[in-house]
């Protein structure tokens, strides 16, 4: 099964993708994570990407389509893909359709994760990650079980906050979502792939709702 998690910044795409990946042999493909990895390299492209991401703007279609194409090629054995944060524009959506078709695959479900803007800002400003394994936390909604220790990889004092997790960048990201990404709701609705899901549910309840729809 190949699914897309579509939603604004902070909707819970990464959190749900990691839960699905943990429980099934599906592969999470997060363009945000891929771009953060390239941003940490000292290449010219890495420097350009870092500036764009910190402002909360979108990286070019060309760069992200190339990243996804590469990942699809190297993970052909996966039983399914979870697209997290991709596609974000109509051009990317068309490219994904073409790429999947060229590999004899197709899209199963697009989950539209619905969360109101005020809840999103609280989630983004309270989020932190483990820099070793990437596990996502929230200071109130989803803290680690033991203070300063990552639940997933047990690293100590490894928590960091993303450079774009501040209110200014968040507002730019939210505008980019409404301007460039929300047209995908109509696009996938017309293809009968869209399933709206309440993103305000608790993390575990949301995971169960997604699994039920996937028949897992
Ligand atoms: P990306 O990394 O994809 O960021 P995003 O889309 O802004 O989404 P987030 O990672 O912020 O949120 P999320 O929905 O994954 O929420 P999470 O699960 O972490 O992209 C970053 C940047 O890269 C973009 O701005 C752009 O510059 C660039 N980029 C990436 N892809 C691109 C593309 N395709 N094209 C062009 N540019 C691209 O949860 C958030 C918080 O809420 C956490 O603290 C979590 O613990 C908590 N939480 C999660 N679920 C719940 C719940 N149900 N209830 C309560 N709290 C919850």
Cβ 63 under 6 angstroms from ligand 1? no
Position 34 pLDDT exceeds 80? yes
Position 23 pLDDT exceeds 90? no
Residue 210: band (very low, low, confident or very high) from pLDDT cuts 50, 70, 90: very high
Mean pLDDT of all residues in 49-64? 95
Position 40 pLDDT exceeds 80? no
- Backbone phi, psi, residue 198, to 5°: -75, 110
Could you give the percent of the chain with pLDDT greater than 90?
Answer: 88
Cβ 137 under 6 angstroms from ligand 1? yes
Mean pLDDT of all residues in 100-116? 96
The count of C-alpha atoms lying within 13 angstroms of the C-alpha of 130, restricted to the half-sphere facing its C-beta, is 20
Tens digits of residue pLDDT in 143-187:
999 999 999 999 999 999 999 999 999 999 999 999 999 999 999
Q: What pLDDT, on the 0 to 100 scale, is given for residue 44?
A: 84
Pocket test for ligand 1, best of 4, 7, 14 (most atoms within 8 A of CB): 14
User: Who has greater pLDDT, 24 or 73?
Assistant: 73
For the whole model, what pTM was predicted?
Answer: 0.95
Query: Would residue 179 show up in a list of annotated catalytic residues for this protein?
Result: no
Q: Are strands 3-6 and 109-114 parallel, antiparallel or unpaired?
A: parallel
Pocket test for ligand 1, best of 21, 31, 207 (most atoms within 8 A of CB): 31
């Amino acid at each position: 099964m190949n699914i897309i998690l579509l939603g604004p910044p902070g909707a819970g795409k990464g959190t749900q993708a990691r839960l699905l990946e943990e429980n099934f042999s599906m592969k999470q493909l997060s363009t945000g994570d891929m771009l953060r990895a390239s941003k940490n390299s000292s290449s010219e492209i890495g420097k350009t990407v870092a500036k764009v991401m910190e402002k909360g703007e979108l990286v070019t279609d060309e760069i992200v389509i190339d990243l996804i194409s590469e990942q699809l090629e190297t993970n052909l054995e996966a039983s399914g893909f979870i697209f997290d944060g991709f596609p974000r524009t109509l051009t990317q959506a068309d490219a994904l359709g073409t790429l999947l078709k060229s590999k004899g695959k197709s899209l199963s479900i697009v989950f539209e994760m619905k969360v109101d803007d005020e809840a999103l800002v609280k989630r983004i400003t309270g989020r932190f990650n483990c820099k070793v394994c990437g596990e996502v936390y929230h200071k109130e909604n989803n803290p680690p079980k033991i203070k300063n220790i990552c639940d997933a990889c047990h690293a100590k004092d490894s928590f960091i906050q993303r450079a774009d997790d501040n209110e200014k960048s968040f507002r730019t990201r939210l505008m980019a979502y409404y301007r460039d990404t929300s047209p995908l709701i109509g696009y996938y609705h017309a293809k009968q792939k869209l399933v709206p899901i309440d993103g305000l549910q608790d993390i575990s309840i949301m995971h169960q709702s997604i699994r039920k729809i996937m028949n897992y």
